[in-house]
Amino acid sequence: MNIILTIEQLEKTYPNGTQALKGISFSVLQGEFLVIIGLSGSGKSTLLRCINRLIEPTNGSIMYRGKDVTHLKSKELREYRKKIGMIFQHFNLIKRRSVMENVLAGHLGSISVWKSIFGKFPSLIRSEAHKNLGIVGIEGKAEHRALLMWIYGRFFVLDQNKRQFSQERIAFVIFIWICLSPIRNIE
């Protein structure tokens, strides 16, 4: 199997002097699952945010499929992030938007600002989103207001009076899933 992600001597020191990461190194093989466990405040979220480059590491390197992504700029960084699925600890989705609009929000980095403001997503992205809503059995709810979130590649929808949970995998092409407290708040 190929190595998909390599972290070498990663460090992060915040401006206030707090050292959140010190000399973190590991590799992840394609298809492998890696679980990072630690106490609150031990640097788990900082590590994951460094991997997807939401925050910049102070030192060290992040290699994705053999390419150093530690210092990518704008366009290359957007391309790298397209390959990473991120489940935030507190999912900040737009409750007043439709299920479809929330799904399409995952593609905001791949279209221009003006197209995103006016909701002008390419037909290929829209058809992929419709197909994936169909896979989990909620294509008919695409225009309903809902809160949605991704949990390990599964789709969970809280609609006003109903809760549905589907075990089926979503077919988006994601190579790395980063999950911050992925089973928190699940009933």
What does pTM read for this prediction? 0.62
Domain-located, residue 88: no
The count of structural domains within the chain is 2
Give residue 156's pLDDT.
45
| Best CA proximity match to 173, nearest among 128, 122, 119 | 128
Domain-located, residue 138: yes
Residue 54, domain CATH: 3.40.50.300
Domain-located, residue 150: yes
CA dihedral 183, 91, 180, 70 (to 10 degrees): 160
Q: Is the same domain home to 127 and 163?
A: yes
pLDDT along the chain (187 residues), means of 10: 92 96 93 83 90 93 94 87 69 69 75 81 86 79 63 39 32 48 48
Looking at 22, 57, 74, the residue that finishes a domain is: 74
Domain-located, residue 92: no
**Residue 56: which domain range?**
3-74
